[in-house]
């Protein structure tokens, strides 16, 4: 491998202001996010991605200003916790890459995740079209080319309008989507990613390929050596259920298994 397999832990934010599930207690949102971040760092992850996971049902693109502001505040506080060399990413669901870029620029994050960078898909939030042209131009105008684009290919919780050739979508995502990292996932949050899909994508792109769902200590050996890293959310959370608090013991178990493999 050209570089060590990297592990990005996920902070699934509690419902933010503007969400139907927000309970009015923003202090609790901040406390939980910082607690999860601290446990991920204690467990030894290489970085953290912050995601408004509980803001269901999601807007397909533009989130309201109160949500964006709250997200920025929490992300800034997590940034203060990071040590040297630890990465920070921003993912604004469902596909608000412009807001993600704005937050990342303000808090000096390292990357944003773009769930639908190119093409068009059907999702529970409606039809989503990639807006990478706008996002790439905004990055340029902000002078923020240091913020990397981590982009999904055939993202989870979505169905393609046309064609299911993941290799072709991966090539287009790298070339036309300007992806710095390509993410391959299972069908839903926590679902195991197909190793066959990972290999197909890895064989046709020149950028790093990350696993986007379903990695755990039991199947990690399948992916190490074939992918360049993983974004891990569900496994790190209590009882392996998405949205639960992060358990440092689960993080350490995963990272110890990785050390055995590399």
What confidence tens digit (pLDDT) does each residue in 131-184 have?
A: 999 999 999 999 999 999 999 998 888 888 766 799 999 999 999 999 999 999
pLDDT digits (tens, 9 = 90+) for 228-249: 999 999 999 999 999 999 999 9
Q: What are phi and psi of 13, to 5 degrees?
A: -65, 145
Reported pTM: 0.96
Distance of CA 149 to the CA centre of its chain: 10
pLDDT at 183: 98
pLDDT digits (tens, 9 = 90+) for 184-229: 998 888 789 999 999 999 999 999 999 999 999 999 999 999 999 9
Measuring CA to CA, how many Å separate 79 from each of 38, 47, 83, 84, 99? Answer: 11, 10, 9, 11, 17
Would you list the domain boundaries of the chain? 6-261
Band of residue 84 on the pLDDT scale cut at 50, 70, 90? confident
**Rounded to whole angstroms, how far apart are CA atoms 39 and 29?**
16
pLDDT at 25: 98
pLDDT at 1: 34
Q: CATH assignment of 6-261?
A: 3.20.20.70
Q: Are strands 229-232 and 209-211 parallel, antiparallel or unpaired?
A: parallel
Closest among 68, 43, 24 to 247, alpha carbons compared: 43
**Helix, strand, coil share (%) of the chain residues, nearest 5:** 35, 20, 45
| Partners of 7 in beta bridges | 230
Does residue 157 come out as left (phi exceeding 0), alpha (psi in the -120 to 50 range) or beta? left
Angle between helices 26-43 and 65-81 in degrees, nearest 10: 40
Cis omega (within 30 of 0) for bond into 57:
yes
pLDDT at 248: 98
Number of Cβ atoms within 10 Å of the Cβ of 196: 9
pLDDT at 181: 98
């Amino acid at each position: 491998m050209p570089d060590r397999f990297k592990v990005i832990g996920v902070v699934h934010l509690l419902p933010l202001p503007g969400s139907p599930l927000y309970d009015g207690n923003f202090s609790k949102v901040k406390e939980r996010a910082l607690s999860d971040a601290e446990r991920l760092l204690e467990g030894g992850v290489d970085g953290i991605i912050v995601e408004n996971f509980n803001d269901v049902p999601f807007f397909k693109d533009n989130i309201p200003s109160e949500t964006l502001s709250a997200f920025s505040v929490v992300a800034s506080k997590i940034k203060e916790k990071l040590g040297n060399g630890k990465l920070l990413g921003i993912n604004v669901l469902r596909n608000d890459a412009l807001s993600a870029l704005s937050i990342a620029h303000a808090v000096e994050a390292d990357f944003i995740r773009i769930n639908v960078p190119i093409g068009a898909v059907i999702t529970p939030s409606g039809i989503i079209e990639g807006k990478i042209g706008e996002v790439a131009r905004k990055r340029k105008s902000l002078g923020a080319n240091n913020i990397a684009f981590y982009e999904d290919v055939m993202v989870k919780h979505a169905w393609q309008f046309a064609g299911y050739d993941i290799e072709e979508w991966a090539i287009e995502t790298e070339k036309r989507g300007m992806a710095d990292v390509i993410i391959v996932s299972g069908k839903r949050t926590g679902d195991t990613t197909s190793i066959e899909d990972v290999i197909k994508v890895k064989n046709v792109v020149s950028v790093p390929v990350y696993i986007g769902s379903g990695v755990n200590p039991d199947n990690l050996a399948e992916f190490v050596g074939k992918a360049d890293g993983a974004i891990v959310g569900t496994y790190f959370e209590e009882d392996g259920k998405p949205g639960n608090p992060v358990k440092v013991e689960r993080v350490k178990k995963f990272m110890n298994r990785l050390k055995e493999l590399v």
